[in-house]
């Protein structure tokens, strides 16, 4: 049973992240085009929390800027352990009396159902003081153990270095994620000491304190250890990206998308592909892409901020930049680039073309080598091409300019003035012909080269 009790989220993100070796804060490193912290908060938002507090420390300006109005922040300075970090959120929560879910900014893939299960467990009949998320990794050696019975009631939590051989045989490990009622949480934290080698205040100590008081604590188990994997290094970041991409590929194929070589296709966090879309090998989707049913994205194409309509074909080797919109059955071919451009229904740009700040009408044909010259060195200007217009190969449309419906621009024309509907515009210099000139030139140059060799 899912309860509707009010709850707050505290996200710990105060660590220095030294293993990442980066000027960018660890929790802001992107996975699938989105900072890992925002992955986590997006899942949290799906549960509609009453409060969100992110505990910051080193690099706090970066985190605060990235959060904007999305969450409150609390400063942990100095940084004296995870228990001390959670305490810093108390002032922001004020008199909040609901539940508190404790998460980590570098553990971005916790599922919403896992979070909800932790909150629900707080309100089971035995009413535990603290709920701990447990997991069973392939290699449990470095993790603290959660000693619990079959019903999840915790007898003790112990760090690996302090555990006996019998306790080390337990494979249920502490993920660090917890839930507790606000009043219980901060009362227990006030009693946590720092008598340890690091001189820090550890969050898991609240469990053993509650148990010593005779109160119950419980664990909820996740059957997916990968959802609690922390990201602390570039290698772990790469592994997280691979994990996310694998999941997204599986979801896409289950939804009716054909991936010719799934392992070579890379999605962004918000990629939307309809059923019966086909994606060939080595395609990259940046943020903000939607592809309608029946479309085909051919090999080695890169799409970002683009909307692809039904039955379109893109690529191979096409690049759609932000603001690109393709109408139904439009065609973008090899080595075509679009930016802030609309290609109407059935319109085609098949080869070697740049369409920037442009609107192309339905059924128009853009010849190979055509470019819209949209930038004058200071400002961008727009090109409008009417329905069924034909733009000949190697034309330069010098914006701002309008080409009317059914107009024809002859190949090789630099067009700087509007073309009316139905007109032919041909802009070419007169061709000069000198019979025999090329033969005489070649003979002269061959004699010069032969003379140089003899010399």
pLDDT for the residue numbered 4: 57
pLDDT for the residue numbered 140: 81
The whole-angstrom separation of Cα 418 and Cα 400 is 9
Burial of 434: CB neighbours in 10 Å, binned 0-12, 13-18, 19+: exposed
Q: How many residues does the chain have?
A: 455
Q: Confirm whether pTM is higher than 0.85.
A: yes
Q: List CB contacts of 93: < 8 A, sequence separation 6 or more.
A: 8, 10, 51, 53, 100, 182
Query: Could you identify the residue written with the tokens 């339905």?
Result: 362
- In tens digits, the chain (455 residues) has pLDDT values of 444 589 999 999 998 889 999 999 999 999 999 999 999 999 999 999 999 999 999 889 999 999 999 999 999 999 999 999 999 999 999 999 999 999 999 999 999 999 999 999 999 999 999 999 999 998 887 888 999 998 899 999 988 888 888 888 899 999 999 999 999 999 999 999 988 778 889 999 999 999 999 999 999 999 999 999 999 999 999 999 999 999 999 999 999 999 999 999 999 999 999 999 999 999 999 999 999 999 999 999 999 999 999 999 999 999 999 999 999 999 999 999 999 999 999 999 999 999 999 999 999 999 999 999 999 999 999 999 999 999 999 999 999 999 999 999 999 999 999 999 999 999 988 888 999 999 999 999 999 999 988 87
Cβ contact 386:361 at 8 Å:
yes
Where are the alpha helices (H) located in 267-334, listed in sequence order?
Answer: none
Strand residue runs (E) in 41-162: 51-56, 72-75, 99-104, 130-135, 145-148, 154-158
Phi, psi of 99 (to 5 degrees): -85, 155
Three-state DSSP class for 440?
Answer: helix
Nearest to 296 by CA among 327, 329, 255: 329
Let me know the angle formed at the C-alpha of 164 by 161 and 169, rounded to the nearest 5 degrees: 100
- Beta strand pairing status for 99-104 and 173-181? antiparallel
pLDDT for the residue numbered 249: 98
Containing H/E element for 8? strand 7-13
Q: List CB contacts of 445: < 8 A, sequence separation 6 or more.
A: none
Containing H/E element for 302? strand 302-303
The whole-angstrom separation of Cα 218 and Cα 147 is 10
Query: Could you identify the residue written with the tokens 């899942």?
Result: 43
pLDDT for the residue numbered 2: 47
Write out the catalytic residue numbers: 351
Token digits for 385? Answer: 């091409």
């Amino acid at each position: 049973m899912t309860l509707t009790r009010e709850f707050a989220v505290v996200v710990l993100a105060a660590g220095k992240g030294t293993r990442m070796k980066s000027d960018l804060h660890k929790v802001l490193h992107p996975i699938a085009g989105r900072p890992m912290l925002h992955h986590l908060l997006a899942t949290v938002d799906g549960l509609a929390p009453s409060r969100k507090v992110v505990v910051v420390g080193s690099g706090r300006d970066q985190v605060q800027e990235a959060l904007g109005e999305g969450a409150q922040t609390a400063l942990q300075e100095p940084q004296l352990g995870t228990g001390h970090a959670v305490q810093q959120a108390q002032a922001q929560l004020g008199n909040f009396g609901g539940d508190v879910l404790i998460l980590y900014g570098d553990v971005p893939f916790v599922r919403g159902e896992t979070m909800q299960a932790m909150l629900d467990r707080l309100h089971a009949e035995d009413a535990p003081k603290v709920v701990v998320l447990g997991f069973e990794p392939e290699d449990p050696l470095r993790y603290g153990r959660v000693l619990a019975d079959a019903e999840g009631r915790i007898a003790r939590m112990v760090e690996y270095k302090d555990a006996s051989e019998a306790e080390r045989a337990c494979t249920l490990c502490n993920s660090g994620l917890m839930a507790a009622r606000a009043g219980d949480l901060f009362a227990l934290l006030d009693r946590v000491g720092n008598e340890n080698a690091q001189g820090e205040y550890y969050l898991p100590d609240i469990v053993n304190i509650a148990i010593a008081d005779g109160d119950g604590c419980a664990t909820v188990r996740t059957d997916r250890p990968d959802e609690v994997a922390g990201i602390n290094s570039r290698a772990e970041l790469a592994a997280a990206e691979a994990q996310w991409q694998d999941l997204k590929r599986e979801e896409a194929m289950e939804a009716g998308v054909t991936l010719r070589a799934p392992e070579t296709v890379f999605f962004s966090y918000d990629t939307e592909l309809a059923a019966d879309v086909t994606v060939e090998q080595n395609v990259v989707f940046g943020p903000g892409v939607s592809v309608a049913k029946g479309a085909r994205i051919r090999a080695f194409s890169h799409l970002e901020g683009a909307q692809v309509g039904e039955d379109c074909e893109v690529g191979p080797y096409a690049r759609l930049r932000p603001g690109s919109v393709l109408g139904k059955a439009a065609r973008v071919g090899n080595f075509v680039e679009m930016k802030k451009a609309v290609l109407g229904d059935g319109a085609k740009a098949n080869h070697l073309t740049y369409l920037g700040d442009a609107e192309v009408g339905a059924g128009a044909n853009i010849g190979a080598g055509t470019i819209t010259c949209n930038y004058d060195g200071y400002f961008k200007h727009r090109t409008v091409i009417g329905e069924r217009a034909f733009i000949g190969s190697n034309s330069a449309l010098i914006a701002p300019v309008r080409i009317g419906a059914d107009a024809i621009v002859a190949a090789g024309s630099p067009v700087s003035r509007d073309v009316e509907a139905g007109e032919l515009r041909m802009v070419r210099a007169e061709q000069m012909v000198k019979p025999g000139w090329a033969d005489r030139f070649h003979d002269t140059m061959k004699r010069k080269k032969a003379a140089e060799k003899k010399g």
